[in-house]
Amino acid sequence: MRGTILLNHNENTAAIEKEEQSRFLRGFLEQCFESAPDVINQIGEIWQGNGTLPVTQKIKLRSILTTYGIVVKDNNDGQLDIYLDNEIMGSFKKPFYKLHRDLTQIDRNKQFYLEMNIECWTAFDEAGASSEEGGASEKQEVGG
């Protein structure tokens, strides 16, 4: 799946990348355990918001991951890989950015903005991707 997020030029891109990685991981786990409502409830309790997780919640998440043999590898360079039984099941690639200028904006601080391009996939996406060409695309705006 590919997506685009529009950001103010002065946004904290590292924090937004972490939030998107967290959202990707939560989505993967919810798909993985959709037939196990008790695990879904635990995941919902861990992610009470859409942001990154505090340390106490990460410990609870690690317990679920260990119980089901899921390994999440964060290479600290923006890429996140998810393994199940030593087989890669999903990947969130490091986003890339494009700087844009909107000359219709009078305020110079609002003229520049970033386009954050995200590429990620899961084994669940690939099962339904045969009917789609080029994968799904989404666009959202962050900041104001």
Place of tokens 């890989």: 81
Please give the single-letter amino acid code of residue 24.
Answer: F
The pTM of the full predicted model, rounded to 2 decimals, is 0.81
Task: Give the integer Cα–Cα distance in Å for 34 and 2.
Answer: 23
Per-residue pLDDT of the chain (144 residues; tens, 9 = 90+): 899 999 998 899 999 999 999 999 999 999 999 999 999 999 999 988 767 788 999 999 999 999 999 999 998 888 999 999 999 999 999 999 999 999 998 988 888 999 999 999 999 886 544 433 333 344 555 555
Maximum alpha-carbon separation in the chain? 55
Between strands 137-141 and 2-8, the pairing is parallel
Per-domain boundaries in the chain: 2-129+136-141
> Could you tell me how far CA 123 lies from the centroid of its own chain?
15
> What pLDDT does 52 receive?
79
Q: Of all helices (H) and strands (E), which one includes residue 92?
A: strand 87-92
> What pLDDT does 143 receive?
54
Question: In terms of DSSP H, where are the helices of 3-144?
Answer: 13-32, 37-46, 55-67, 108-111, 123-128
> What pLDDT does 108 receive?
86
Closest by CA to 71, choosing from 96, 46, 89, is 89
> What pLDDT does 135 receive?
38
Task: Give the integer Cα–Cα distance in Å for 49 and 46.
Answer: 9
